[in-house]
Amino acid sequence: MSDNLIDGKQVAARLRAAVGLAVSQLLITPTLAVVLVGDDPASHVYVRNKIKFTKEAGMRSLEHRLPADVSEAEVVATVRALNVDPDVDGILVQLPLPAHINSDRVIAEINPDKDVDGLTETSAGRLLLGQPGLRPCTPTGCVILAKETLGDLSGKHCVVIGRSILVGKPAALLFLEQNCTVTLAHSRTENLSAVCRGADILVPAVGRPNMVKADWIKAGACVIDVGINRIDDASRKSGTRLVGDVDFADAVPVAGAITPVPGGVGPMTIACLLRNTVLAACARRGLDMPDNLAL
């Protein structure tokens, strides 16, 4: 593997260890409640890992499994019950939800102070206004990886490709909080490849396999690939493999540092979820944020 690889698994392990240390020094046991609806295999894997790492960090995990045919009203009622439960610090509704349930309505029901995924309108507003609050996990993970690689990000030009509310927009705001100069690019951006070549930090988050080629990347740039795309691969037993939005093999010789897919941004998402749960638990009780969890 290339010497310029950013090992997301290693960075995530250090963050989980920092969360565990913070929990051990608190006089409380933060509690994360997960709502899982239906039988989506990928969702079950994600939730199982979240529960595993929550417990490993010394926190309490609650799981609410609901059948695929549950009504929207019942899911909303579950969230509302968790909102008023004094023992619950964080609420995570695992997405995607079944098609007959309005995900936006369910997410809107989450108490923003327990919104460890950072997806409610209030959480988004707090981020935009620079107010304290819980930030989305994947974009936070991107910032942490960039800081692990480059140190102080002040003055760096960050180009985020993709304007989704889940990653692109919050990532742009989070890098702005780090005093980066930020360009939010997208499918309608003119001369997109040229815009990307101006980036010190390039964050593709569009869901197009191998879209970003070597000639899109400035020599020595830090590339944080958020894309997770499954493509056909007859050489694999499964017949498929995962790739990012960056053509990894093409980009490695040019980038100063680059995340692989898988093993880059993905592991950071759960680690940041655990961090958010601790931050939520402290904020709800008027406690200061643990110093070792500050960005």
Whole-number Å distance between alpha carbons of 179 and 81: 39
Higher pLDDT, 255 or 42: 255
Neighbours of 212 (CB within 10 A): 25
At residue 88, the pLDDT reads 98
Task: Lay out the sheet containing 60-66: strands in order across.
Answer: 60-66, 31-37, 90-93
Q: Are residues 102 and 145 in the same domain?
A: no
- Asked if residue 230 is part of any domain, the answer here is yes
Confidence of residue 44 (pLDDT cuts 50, 70, 90): confident
At residue 43, the pLDDT reads 87
Q: Are residues 255 and 142 in the same domain?
A: yes
CATH number at residue 229: 3.40.50.720
Confidence of residue 42 (pLDDT cuts 50, 70, 90): confident
Q: How many domains does the chain have?
A: 2
| Residue 164 annotated as lining a ligand binding site | yes
* Domain extent for 77: 27-113
Q: Are residues 48 and 142 in the same domain?
A: no
Q: Are residues 33 and 67 in the same domain?
A: yes
- Asked if residue 275 is part of any domain, the answer here is no
Neighbours of 59 (CB within 10 A): 23
Residues marked as catalytic: 50, 94, 117
**Does pLDDT of 1 surpass 70?**
no
Structure tokens of 20? 């565990």
Q: Are residues 197 and 88 in the same domain?
A: no
Q: Are residues 207 and 263 in the same domain?
A: yes
**69 Cβ contact list (under 8 Å, min separation 6):** 98
Mean pLDDT (the chain, rounded): 96
pLDDT in tens, 133-170: 999 999 999 999 999 999 999 999 999 999 999 999 99
| Residue 123 annotated as lining a ligand binding site | no
Share of the chain above pLDDT 70, in %: 99
Whole-number Å distance between alpha carbons of 179 and 201: 13
Structure tokens of 246? 């960056």
- Asked if residue 5 is part of any domain, the answer here is no
| Residue 235 annotated as lining a ligand binding site | no
Q: Are residues 108 and 229 in the same domain?
A: no
- Asked if residue 40 is part of any domain, the answer here is yes
At residue 46, the pLDDT reads 86
